Amino acid sequence: MTLKEGGGSGAPLAGGLAPDLKPWQRIDWPGCVQARLYNDWGQYYARRLLYKKALECYGRARAVCQEEGARPTGISCVAPRPNMPLEMRHCYNPEEKTCRYRYVTLLKQAQCERSLAMPKQAWLTAVRAQEITHEQPEVYEDIILEQCDALYDDNRFEDNLCTLYSEANRFNSINNKQRLENRLTKTLTVFNHTVGDTLNWFFKRNFAMIQDIDRRRKTLAAFVPRPLWKDMKEQNKCDVQSVIDKPTVYLTPLEKARRRVCRNIFNYQYLGRSAKDVALLRELQDNSNFLNPHLRETTPFLRQFSAEQYKTVRKFLRMMHARNPLYNRNQLKGHGSQACERTLNRHLYRLEYQTRRDCFRILREVRQRRRERNIEQMTNYVEHIMSTYIDLKTHRILPWKFEFVNEIYNILALAHIDRCAVPTNVDFLNPKNRGLLYQLPAERIKDKTINFCGRNLYKDVQKDEARHNRINQKLDSLEDRLRHSRYSIERCYVLFEMARNHFIESRFDKCLTMARKAVYEARNCKSLIWRFNTIFLVCQVHATLNRFERLKESLTKASQLAEELKSPKLVAYLSICITVNDHDLGLRRMRYAEQNVRNKNHRNNEDSIHSLGSHSSHHKVLRITGNWSKSKDRDADSGSTSGILVSF
């Protein structure tokens, strides 16, 4: 027994570090000793529920037995008695080129795999252990029992029962016979729970659904898929699409809540109070605090670890459901009986009464917030209540749901109309006061100059980013509500709120698009208040962009709606808006007229100057030509050409 060269399994590379090995791994142990050491470490990790490390140790133990250099040259230390024959004192099997006692490692590995919810792999491992032992009687019973446990965990109850009955006569040990009988009783109990008397009650109650599911299965089995390019060619689409667009399935809030309740009930039926831990484990997979995207080292490991743990728990839940289905547990508890129906009805009536009281409380709160004239807080409160409470109520619990929704949204619309009032002591002919008249949001333009020891500009940037994120999240939630809203007045409110958020973010094109859709929905539900609010929002957009002609048209429509609403204050307010807009429009026309006259006079002056310049140049040419002709005649008489050059 010597130390390994390089302090490990091999010498390190030049310039590299020696492998990180444990002290006992630095000694050149025989293969049998190394296998026993790895088995002990596997048991150590398994007792501490570190099953993955235990499987790794068991795998290394089997790999050591199969190495070429692991073949023992002397007497093995596994056989303790020296008076045994020499062929039995060697653990190495030359025919299979492996260790005779490898089945021990395989059995322990199968137990760890069952603990990790991998019953199929555990059964295959137990079968390999049986092939190695060649049905030796001293270990055969343990291997068969391990196979039965793996089949039971894999929900193969028929195969498990066949194995138990076929191998029962080969058991000689009294303890193993008792273990076999316990497994047999447990398997027969599973059959009583799954296909017993409770199955008849389940079929009677869900016969129509079972027929529908059977019809779908037969349709899918008879369906012959065609090549994708043929279907896309018939639909006049691109037949060379590398990534197929999968349609996104959107669930209604009521369906999401129903599935969440069913999942919680399922977990509580099989896990009891531990169901809260499973719910927490599910939420951690989407928690940004637990999976921080800025932590690049720990986040991938935590994401994989949480996903694997939740997957393992779900596998165990399926095993428990297959052994004792939910319909059997409900039937044993008395679900479906007359007493249970009476209890359910009493519970529903109690929920209906409590919901009625909550709705009256919500109405009082909404009216109070309207009197406070804080439109932002009121809008946030209505959005929170309607999306998290009212949308989850069925007509059995809230029979007058439409009337309540209509009342809430009408009060909110009236709160928006209450803002349309003329401020006192304000000169509206001053262009700086247009924002007060049209209820425009304040300008968010700030000074970005950097001064020493001045305010921190990065905090302002962070505040703006946080506000943008809040508005984008609100737009996403409103879009999801619009996808599942049933009532026209609710759709009108959602579209109006989306347009108002786009207006706050200065996205005027999207604001006008959403406003047109809101007007269409308001006409469907015959709501004059929401039509007025939407048209006045369009007026605010035109006033922000100084589109006076379009603003005049929108104010005219709003004034007609105000007359239909029979609101004198609203009519007076809109008449002032129309007067101010006509004044601005007249000023613009006068300015344009003056500009046109000024431009026309400027063009006339340019034309006159151009004409005068051309006339003077013509006279100059004639004078130069006359002088040149006279000098030419005079020089011709004298016979010299110098006079031409001078005169020219």
pLDDT at residue 621 in the model: 39
Q: Can you name the residues that pair with 99 across neighbouring β-strands?
A: 92
Cα→Cα distances 215→114, 218, 273, Å:
36, 5, 39
Q: Residue written as tokens 């968010």?
A: 444
pLDDT at residue 33 in the model: 77
- CB neighbour list of residue 349: distance below 8 Å, 6 or more residues apart: none
pLDDT digits (tens, 9 = 90+) for 183-240: 999 999 999 999 888 888 888 888 899 999 999 999 888 877 777 777 777 878 776 6
Of 27-36, 114-123, 371-380, 467-476, which gets the smallest average pLDDT?
A: 27-36
Question: Does residue 374 surpass a pLDDT of 60?
Answer: yes
Question: Does residue 455 surpass a pLDDT of 80?
Answer: no
Running DSSP on this structure, what letter comes out for residue 242? S
pLDDT at residue 96 in the model: 57
pLDDT digits (tens, 9 = 90+) for 376-419: 999 999 999 999 999 999 999 999 999 999 999 999 999 999 98
Question: Does residue 489 surpass a pLDDT of 50?
Answer: yes
pLDDT digits (tens, 9 = 90+) for 246-268: 778 889 999 999 999 999 999 99
pLDDT digits (tens, 9 = 90+) for 379-391: 999 999 999 999 9
What element of type H or E holds 93?
strand 92-93
Q: What is the residue type of 431? A: P
Alpha carbon distance 37, 41 (integer Å): 6
- pLDDT band of 426, cuts 50, 70, 90: confident
Question: Does residue 569 surpass a pLDDT of 80?
Answer: yes
Among 179, 92, 106, 198, CA closest to 141? 179
Question: Does residue 448 surpass a pLDDT of 70?
Answer: no
Over range 167-180, report the average pLDDT. 86
Over range 558-578, report the average pLDDT. 92
Range 304-311 contact pairs with CB under 8 angstroms and sequence separation of 24 or more: 306/281, 309/281, 310/278, 310/281, 310/282, 310/285
Question: Does residue 515 surpass a pLDDT of 70?
Answer: yes
What element of type H or E holds 92?
strand 92-93
Q: How many CB atoms lie within 10 A of CB 99?
A: 27
pLDDT digits (tens, 9 = 90+) for 292-304: 988 888 999 999 9
Q: How many CB atoms lie within 10 A of CB 200?
A: 11
pLDDT at residue 189 in the model: 92
pLDDT at residue 449 in the model: 59
Question: Does residue 600 surpass a pLDDT of 80?
Answer: no
Cα→Cα distances 448→452, 453, 454, 461, 465, Å:
13, 14, 11, 10, 16
Backbone angles phi, psi at 92, to 5 degrees: -85, 130
Q: Residue written as tokens 């737009």?
A: 475
Alpha carbon distance 494, 477 (integer Å): 10
Q: Note whether 488 and 524 are within 8 A (CB).
A: yes
Here the tokens at position 368 are: 């109070």
pLDDT at residue 379 in the model: 94
Over range 562-571, report the average pLDDT. 91
pLDDT at residue 340 in the model: 84
Cα→Cα distances 267→116, 318, 344, 414, 488, Å:
19, 10, 21, 46, 38
pLDDT at residue 153 in the model: 92
Q: Note whether 253 and 390 are within 8 A (CB).
A: no
More confident residue, 648 or 37: 37
Q: Residue 69 burial by CB count (10 A; 0-12/13-18/19+): exposed, middle or buried? A: exposed
pLDDT at residue 629 in the model: 46
pLDDT digits (tens, 9 = 90+) for 535-549: 999 999 999 998 999
Is-above-0.85 flag for pTM? no
Question: Does residue 362 surpass a pLDDT of 90?
Answer: yes
More confident residue, 144 or 25: 144
pLDDT at residue 539 in the model: 94
Alpha helices in 485-527 (DSSP H): 488-504, 508-524
Mean residue pLDDT of the chain comes to 82
Three-state secondary structure string covering 383-439? HHHHHHCHHHCCCCCCCCHHHHHHHHHHHHHHHHHHCCCCCCCCCCCCHHHHHHHCC
pLDDT at residue 239 in the model: 64
Q: How many CB atoms lie within 10 A of CB 476?
A: 10
Q: Note whether 196 and 332 are within 8 A (CB).
A: no
Running DSSP on this structure, what letter comes out for residue 229? H
Question: Does residue 521 surpass a pLDDT of 90?
Answer: yes
Here the tokens at position 607 are: 């034309």
What element of type H or E holds 98?
strand 98-99
Query: First CA to last CA across the chain, in angstroms?
Result: 124
3-state DSSP call for residue 615?
helix
Among 559, 581, 585, 561, CA closest to 572? 559
Among 536, 562, 539, 537, CA closest to 551? 539
Q: Note whether 147 and 130 are within 8 A (CB).
A: yes
Structural domains present in the chain: 27-198 (1.25.40.10), 253-332 (no CATH), 338-418 (no CATH)
Of 445-449, 531-535, 629-633, which gets the smallest average pLDDT?
A: 629-633
Alpha carbon distance 143, 110 (integer Å): 10
Question: Does residue 370 surpass a pLDDT of 90?
Answer: yes
Alpha carbon distance 378, 371 (integer Å): 10
pLDDT at residue 173 in the model: 83
pLDDT at residue 104 in the model: 84
Over range 28-46, report the average pLDDT. 83
% pLDDT > 90, the chain: 46
